[in-house]
Amino acid sequence: MAGKEVETSAEKKAEIKWNEETERFETEDKEAYLQYHLLQIGEGKTAIDMVHTFVPRSKRGMGLAAKLCDAAFAHAQSRELAVIPTCSYISDTYLPKNPTWSSLVYKDEPKSSM
């Protein structure tokens, strides 16, 4: 049918799941993921240290890394977690393109869980 966009199988697999057990946000096939660790940063205050984003070479260029970050930042916001962007993709690429999330970034000098 002309004019109708067709969803590719890669786009169908772009749904991001939170895997609390492994501390990851991941695609349904678990091939692309954002790894995190929770840290105590003060009395009763917790931060999510986003340490690594991985997308296999075969799935790069589809926006999966950004979708993983979108899910992780939305999760942090909904749980009132500060964000420590240890992963260079998040600090150097994602946040400059998505400045609305900058308000969640922990401003003190945290010790990364790495």
Q: Read off the pLDDT of residues 52-107 as tens digits, 9 standing for 90 and up.
A: 999 999 999 999 999 999 999 999 999 999 999 999 999 999 999 999 999 999 98
Is-catalytic flag, 87?
yes
Question: What are the two backbone dihedrals, phi and then psi, of residue 13, each rounded to the nearest 5 degrees?
Answer: -85, 5
Give me the pLDDT at residue 109, please: 62
Mean pLDDT in the chain? Answer: 88
Domains of the chain: residue spans and CATH: 16-104 (3.40.630.30)
Position 41 pLDDT exceeds 70: yes
pLDDT, mean of residues 10-34:
88
Between CA 9 and CA 28 the distance in angstroms is: 12
Give me the pLDDT at residue 2, please: 44
- Quick one: what percent of the chain has pLDDT higher than 90? 78
From the candidates 14, 48, 87, 95, which is the catalytic residue? 87
Q: Are 110 and 47 in contact (CB under 8 A)?
A: yes
Query: What residue ranges in 1-114 does DSSP mark as E strands?
Result: 16-19, 24-27, 33-42, 45-54, 82-84
pLDDT, mean of residues 46-50:
97
Predicted TM-score (pTM) of the model is: 0.83
